């Protein structure tokens, strides 16, 4: 059966090996009895049902976690809305207050608020005044005479 030529030998070898391959594949096959036995294995369906139910429980728990999160968000909605209303209202009020300050300052050389008064002192004067209070001397607006 063997030929002298290399290609002829390879071809024959491949042919033989292909036949071996087919035999090997057939050898790996299970018999009908084995196939039926595995299919009719006791409690196989019950095991499937148990796993399906476990998976369904897991899915339900996941869904439950999402639902509780959504419920939390749902409860938070009124609070968020109230917060938003307060924020909007304060935004609307803030410009009207700021508009009052320039109006009060028109034609008036005195600072309109106490805060502006305090800010008119220099930093050194403020420190000296605070040191004087601690030493028991009455503050004189930063003067040292």
Partner 1 sequence: MGEVETPAGTNDDMSAETTPEMTDDELVAAARAGDESAFSRLFERHRRLVSRLGYRFFPRRDQVEEIIQESFIKAYFALDDYHGGGEKSFVSWLARIAVRTCYDELRRARRRGESSIGDLSEDEAAYLHERLRDLSASGNVEGAAISRDLANKLLSRLRPDDRMVLALLKLEELSIAEISNLTGWTTAKVKMRSHRAQRGLRQLLRKLL
Per CB under 8 A, residues contacting partner 1 are 13-14, 16-30, 34-49, 51-52, 55
State the minimum distance, in angstroms, from the CB of residue 2 to partner 1: 12
State the minimum distance, in angstroms, from the CB of residue 62 to partner 1: 14
State the minimum distance, in angstroms, from the CB of residue 21 to partner 1: 4
State the minimum distance, in angstroms, from the CB of residue 12 to partner 1: 11
When the beta carbons of 30 and 115 are compared against partner 1, the nearer one is 30
When the beta carbons of 48 and 118 are compared against partner 1, the nearer one is 48
CA-CA distances (angstroms) from residue 139 to 15, 106, 135, 144?
Answer: 115, 31, 10, 9
When the beta carbons of 16 and 68 are compared against partner 1, the nearer one is 16
Rg of the chain in Å (alpha carbons): 47
Distance between CA 123 and CA 130 in Å, rounded?
A: 11
3 in Cβ contact with 12 (< 8 Å): yes
When the beta carbons of 47 and 75 are compared against partner 1, the nearer one is 47
State the minimum distance, in angstroms, from the CB of residue 28 to partner 1: 4
When the beta carbons of 53 and 117 are compared against partner 1, the nearer one is 53
């Amino acid at each position: 059966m063997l030929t002298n030529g290399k290609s002829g030998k390879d071809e024959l070898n491949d042919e033989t090996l292909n036949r071996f391959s087919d035999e090997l594949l057939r050898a790996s096959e299970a018999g009908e009895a084995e196939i039926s036995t595995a299919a009719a294995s006791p409690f196989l369906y019950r095991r499937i049902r148990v796993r399906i139910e476990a998976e369904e429980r897991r899915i339900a728990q996941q869904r439950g976690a999402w639902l509780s999160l959504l419920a939390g968000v749902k409860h938070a909605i009124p609070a968020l809305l109230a917060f938003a209303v307060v924020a909007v209202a304060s935004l609307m009020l803030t410009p009207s207050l700021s508009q009052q300050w320039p109006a009060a300052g028109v034609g008036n050389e005195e600072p309109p608020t106490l805060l502006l008064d305090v800010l008119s002192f220099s930093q050194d004067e403020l420190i000296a005044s605070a040191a004087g209070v601690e030493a028991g001397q009455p503050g004189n607006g930063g003067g040292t005479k």
